[in-house]
């Protein structure tokens, strides 16, 4: 009896010490979940949006008059190739469960039990089929209905609840996710069963998809061999990260990068689909590991649509001109809203000189770029949006016209504006090159401009080369 009691106590003690010793990081129990703020273009809008607008939208002595918005679609389903690869995740799930059977061989920073159980129970939602690729999700619809309601709350006198086709101009691209995003936004403004109409989509959508019609832009190397992102993937930090992730999941070898990226993508999508839950796959990545993936993706975007190549800043010439024309005009429409894509939003920010880093993003400067401005997790999450609000300020004697630019509900702090509030005359002055440009030749590296493109690209290559050599 005594013996039994002692044994039980001993067993209990061992068991409890083991539980006690298990202070492994638990994603499922982490209330902050810092990982989720760093998922680049697949970050949930609800996580990325700013709360600063509350203090920024009211300008004493000024009345808001016109609004111009470029809105990325909300949270969507993955591409066909990821949907097709999803069954592979069930194999990985089972392999991880197997790895964790032999406790003695687990690494020090093993998954906590809750995270492990969650991974073991994961199932792919088989009603998501390849024909639904890139569709807007329920959360994606809510993203846009939500931004419409938020902006209407701040600017009820501009974003009026009564729809009229003269007062409101809407247009989306020719895809399910932007069409639905438009409907969601209109529902947010006018309620269900509204009469809101979107303009016809031209066959060649140079306004919202200029990148589809620019060969020299498409051929820029932003992720292929020799690109900064490819170089980053060849650095020891990348290799080490792949090894660490594999090890933490109990593998004795480094998993294929494709498998790790599949887990990572599923984590990011699921987390965005259901913001208030946790994706079990996110448990596979520590916050530090996520920042490595984030930088690699930011490098891609920096060269695809950011400041990495000079030509990127001219691609969205038409949308920028459209904004300035509409805000500057005294006639209707008073509200213009476009529903487009990641590349559109990013190249517009680039055109306007927003979030430009002084030092370019390079494979070699990850550690110095922790506070980079070009952080797509912040500037281009799902449902990212650029909002320009034109004010009339009676209180002023000169420069009565002002504007504030917002990115994801945060006022853009341009150096020539006062805490985000810019004189309209300065806008016209600062962007005069753009305003005067003939977008037909300016937006893409054709004809005369082609010379300066290749020169610029050459110069950039030379600078990048020099920095690398140094
Ligand atoms: C599975 O996906 C479908 C289609 O997107 C969705 O309607 C449904 O809610 C999802 N089911 C679960 C359990 O998430
Ligand atoms: C990558 O890491 C593995 C395992 O740590 C190692 O064997 C291999 O040499 C590394 N490769 C490179 C290119 O650093
Ligand atoms: C805007 O115009 C006003 C009036 O001319 C001037 O005082 C101010 O310095 C200008 N610039 C900014 C950033 O407000």
pLDDT number for residue 24:
85
DSSP structure class, residue 360? -
Nearest ligand to the CA of 251 is 2
List residues near ligand 3 (CB under 6 A): 398-399, 417-418, 423
Could you state, in order of their start, the residue ranges of all structural domains in the chain? Answer: 35-443
| Mutational test site, ligand 2, from 230, 235, 239, max ligand atoms within 8 Å of CB | 239
| Rounded distance between C-alpha atoms, residue 381 and residue 342, angstroms | 8
Work out the number of other CB atoms within 10 angstroms of the CB of residue 461. Answer: 13
Q: How confident is the model at residue 124 (pLDDT cuts 50, 70, 90)?
A: very high
More confident residue, 234 or 464: 234
- Look at residue 453 in the predicted model and tell me its pLDDT: 43
Q: Which numbered ligand comes closest to the C-alpha of 76?
A: 1
Q: How far is the CA of 410 from the centre of ligand 3 (A)?
A: 21
Distance from Cα 387 to the centre of ligand 1, integer Å: 32
Atom 10 in ligand 3: which residue has the minimum CA distance?
423
For range 283-287, the mean pLDDT: 98
Of 162, 160, 181, the residue nearest 170 (C-alpha): 181
In the reported structure, the alpha carbon of residue 314 is separated from the centroid of ligand 3 by a whole-number distance in angstroms of 28
Residues whose CB falls within 8 Å of the CB of residue 220, separated by 6 or more in sequence, listed in order:
303, 304, 309, 311, 312, 457
Q: What's the 419 CA to ligand 3 centre distance in angstroms?
A: 12
How far, in whole angstroms, is CA 295 from its chain's centroid?
A: 13
Closest CA to 341 of 182, 208, 200: 208
Residue 4 has a pLDDT of 42
Nearest-ligand number for the alpha carbon of 429 = 3
Ligand 1 atom nearest the C-alpha of 125 is: 1
What local confidence, expressed as pLDDT, does residue 309 receive?
96
Which atom of ligand 3 lies nearest, measured to the CA of 416? 13
Inter-residue contact 326 to 171 (CB < 8 Å) = no
What is the predicted pLDDT for the residue at 445? Answer: 66
Condensed to tens digits (0 to 9), the pLDDT of residues 373-431 reads: 999 999 999 999 999 999 999 999 999 999 999 999 999 999 999 999 999 999 999 99
Which residue among 61, 423, 428, 430 has the greatest number of ligand 3 atoms within 8 angstroms of its CB, and so is best to mutate?
423
CA distance 88 to 263: 10
CA distance 461 to 459: 5
Query: Of the residues 75, 78, 125, which should be mutated to test ligand 1's pocket, given the most ligand atoms within 8 Å of the CB?
Result: 125
Q: Whose Cα sits closest to atom 1 in ligand 1? A: 125
Q: Which atom, in ligand 1's list, is nearest to the CA of 137?
A: 5
Could you say which ligand is closest to the alpha carbon of residue 418?
Answer: 3
* Torsional sign, CA 372, 377, 380, 386: negative
Query: What tokens does 21 get?
Result: 């010793």
Alpha-carbon distances of 81 from 211, 391, 418, rounded to whole Å? 22, 46, 46
| Better pLDDT: 335 or 454 | 335
pTM (predicted TM-score): 0.90
Q: Which residues contact 232 (CB under 8 A, 6 or more apart)?
A: 238, 295, 296, 299, 363, 366
- Tell me which ligand sits closest to the C-alpha of residue 238: 2
- Lowest-pLDDT choice from 94-108, 338-352, 405-419: 94-108
Supply the residue whose CA is at minimum distance from atom 11 of ligand 1: 125
pLDDT tier at 9, thresholds 50, 70, 90:
very low
The pLDDT tens digits of the residues spanning 354-369 come to 999 999 999 999 999 9
CA 156, chain centre distance (Å): 28
* Residue to probe by mutation, ligand 1, list 86, 127, 271, most atoms within 8 Å of CB: 127
Of the pLDDT bands very low, low, confident and very high (cuts 50, 70, 90), residue 104 is: confident
Indicate whether 446 pLDDT > 80. Answer: no
Q: Do 26 and 287 form a contact (C-beta atoms < 8 A)?
A: no
The residues near 401 (Cβ < 8 Å, ≥ 6 apart) are: 390, 391, 392, 393, 423, 424, 425
Query: Residue 159 has which token pair?
Result: 């974003």
Q: What separation in Å is there between the alpha carbon of 46 and the centre of ligand 1? A: 20
Sequence-ordered list of residues with C-beta below 8 angstroms from that of 314, at least 6 positions apart, any chain: 351, 437, 442, 443, 444, 449
Once rounded to an integer, what is the mean pLDDT over residues 133-150?
Answer: 98
| 160: phi then psi, degrees, rounded to nearest 5 | -70, 155
Beta carbons within 10 angstroms of residue 225's beta carbon: 8
Which of 144-168 are b and which e, b meaning 16 or more Cβ less than 10 Å from the residue's Cβ? bbbbbebbbebbeebbbeebeeeeb
Mean pLDDT score, 186-214: 97
In angstroms, what is the span from residue 396 Cα to ligand 3's centroid? 10
Whether residue 458 has pLDDT greater than 70: no
Q: pLDDT at residue 303 above 50?
A: yes
Band (102; pLDDT cuts 50, 70, 90): confident
Taking the C-alpha atoms of residue 107 and residue 468, their distance in angstroms, rounded to an integer, is 36
For ligand 3, atom 8: residue with the closest CA: 423
Average pLDDT of the chain to the nearest whole number = 92
Q: Residues with Cβ within 6 A of ligand 2? A: 236, 239, 243, 254
Q: Which of these is catalytic: 38, 71, 73, 172?
A: 73
- Which residue has the least CA distance to atom 1 on ligand 2? 239
Fold of the CATH domain 35-443: Rossmann fold (3.40.50)
In angstroms, what is the span from residue 259 Cα to ligand 2's centroid? 17
**Among this protein's residues, is 73 annotated catalytic?**
yes
- In this structure, which residue's CA is closest to atom 8 in ligand 2? 239
Residues with CB under 6 A from ligand 1: 125, 127-128
């Amino acid at each position: 009896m005594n013996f039994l009691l002692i044994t039980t106590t001993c067993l209990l003690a061992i068991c409890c010490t083991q539980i006690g010793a298990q202070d492994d990081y638990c994603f499922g129990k982490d209330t902050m979940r810092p990982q989720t703020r760093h998922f680049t273009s697949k970050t949930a809008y609800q996580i990325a949006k700013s709360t600063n607008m509350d203090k920024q939208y009211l300008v004493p002595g000024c009345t808001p008059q016109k609004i111009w918005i470029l809105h990325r679609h909300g949270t969507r389903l993955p591409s066909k190739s990821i949907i097709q690869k999803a069954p592979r995740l069930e194999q990985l799930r089972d392999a991880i469960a197997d790895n964790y059977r032999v406790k003695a061989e687990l690494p020090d920073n093993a998954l906590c039990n809750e995270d492990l159980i969650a991974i073991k129970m994961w199932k792919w939602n088989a009603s998501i089929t390849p024909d639904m690729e890139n569709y807007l999700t329920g959360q994606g619809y809510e993203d846009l209905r939500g931004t419409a309601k938020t902006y209407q709350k701040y600017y009820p006198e501009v974003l009026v609840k009564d729809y009229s086709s003269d007062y409101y101009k809407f247009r989306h691209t020719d895809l399910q996710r932007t069409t639905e995003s438009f409907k969601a936004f209109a529902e947010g403004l006018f309620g269900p069963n509204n009469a809101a109409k979107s303009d016809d989509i031209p066959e060649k959508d140079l306004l919202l998809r200029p990148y589809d019609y620019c060969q020299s832009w498409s051929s820029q190397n932003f992720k292929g061999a020799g690109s900064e992102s490819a170089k980053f993937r060849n650095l020891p930090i990348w290799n080490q990260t792949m090894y660490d992730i594999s090890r933490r999941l109990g593998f004795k070898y480094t998993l294929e990068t494709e498998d790790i990226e599949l887990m990572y993508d599923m984590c990011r999508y699921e987390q965005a689909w259901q913001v208030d839950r946790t994706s079990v796959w996110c448990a596979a990545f520590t916050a530090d590991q996520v920042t490595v993936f984030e930088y690699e993706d930011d490098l891609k975007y920096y060269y695809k649509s950011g400041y990495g190549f000079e030509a990127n800043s001219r691609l969205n010439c038409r949308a920028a001109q459209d904004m300035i024309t509409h805000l500057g005009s005294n006639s209707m429409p008073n509200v213009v809203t476009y529903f487009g894509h990641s590349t559109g939003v990013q190249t517009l920010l680039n055109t306007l000189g927003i979030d430009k880093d002084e030092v370019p993003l390079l494979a070699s400067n990850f550690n110095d770029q922790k506070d980079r401005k070009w952080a797509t997790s912040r500037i281009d999450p799902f449902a990212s949006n650029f909002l320009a609000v034109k004010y009339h300020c009676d209180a002023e004697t000169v420069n009565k016209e002002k504007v504030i630019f917002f990115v994801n509900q945060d006022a853009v702090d341009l150096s020539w504006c006062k805490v985000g509030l810019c004189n309209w005359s300065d806008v016209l002055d600062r962007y005069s090159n753009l305003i005067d440009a003939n977008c037909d030749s300016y937006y893409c590296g054709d004809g005369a401009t082609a010379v300066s493109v290749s020169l610029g690209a050459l110069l950039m290559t030379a600078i990048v080369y020099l920095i690398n050599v140094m």
